[in-house]
Amino acid sequence: MARKISPLGEFVLDENVKEPFYDKIINWLSAMVLLSIVLLVFFDAMGRYFYKPITGAAEIVSLLLGVLIFSAFPLVTRDQQHICVGLLDHLFAGKIKWLRDFVVLIASTAFVAFMGWRLWALAWIYIGEGRVEELTGIPRAPVAFLLSGLCFFTVILLFGVIFKFLTGAGANPEAPTGEPTDTPASS
């Protein structure tokens, strides 16, 4: 089962569409990282109450937070569910709106690719310098490589979004970007 967006903008399950193999992996990764953050913060707070906090908890939470954000990034990008502010949407219509959306997709792809490339380079710098977290000694390079890989995976998904956008296979031209084609167009 895969998710689709209802005419009201809510996610619903669609039994006819098979969920991509990576959905469960990334959802599981995001959920486990979030659970780890919650448990770590809880036990650190409880430890502080008894004057025995977890050493390096803030460092670990900061690393896990980066992994959480970047692990959710591919699915949010694929489903085009980013938070958008529509203050200027009334200024764009028809071909201008299509061009704006296309430019935003291309710029997003370029930016995420650049971010992945810089994280990849940073990971190699961390390896060369032997960088680790101060209190815990956790090496920084594996985390940077993971974040870079998630960026590159997001770029691959963005290419799919661009392909669907150009072929008209994923969006209703009369509806907001990302709304499925089976939604009736407004009159």
Domain locations along the chain? 2-167
- CA distances 40 to 46, 48, 142, 185, Å, are 10, 12, 20, 47
Nearest to 156 by CA among 99, 96, 73, 97: 73
Going by pLDDT thresholds of 50, 70 and 90, the confidence category of residue 187 is: very low
Q: Give CA–CA dist 115/111, Å, rounded.
A: 6
Higher pLDDT, 95 or 4: 95
pLDDT, residue 92, reads 82
Q: Give CA–CA dist 176/97, Å, rounded.
A: 10
Q: Does residue 5 contact residue 179 with C-beta atoms inside 8 Å?
A: yes
What's the burial of 186, exposed, middle or buried (CB within 10 Å: 0-12/13-18/19+)? exposed
| pLDDT reading at 79 higher than 90 | no
Going by pLDDT thresholds of 50, 70 and 90, the confidence category of residue 87 is: confident
Nearest to 6 by CA among 153, 168, 162, 183: 183
* The CA-based dihedral angle spanning residues 48, 54, 55, 57, taken in that order and rounded to the nearest 10 degrees: -100
Prediction pTM value = 0.76
Q: Does residue 2 contact residue 15 with C-beta atoms inside 8 Å?
A: no
pLDDT, residue 24, reads 86
pLDDT, residue 16, reads 66
Going by pLDDT thresholds of 50, 70 and 90, the confidence category of residue 186 is: very low
Give tens-digit pLDDT for 12-35: 556 666 778 888 889 899 999 999
Token readout for 137 is 């000694």
Q: Give CA–CA dist 136/81, Å, rounded.
A: 36
Q: Does residue 154 contact residue 148 with C-beta atoms inside 8 Å?
A: no
Coil, helix or strand at residue 139: strand
pLDDT, residue 78, reads 85
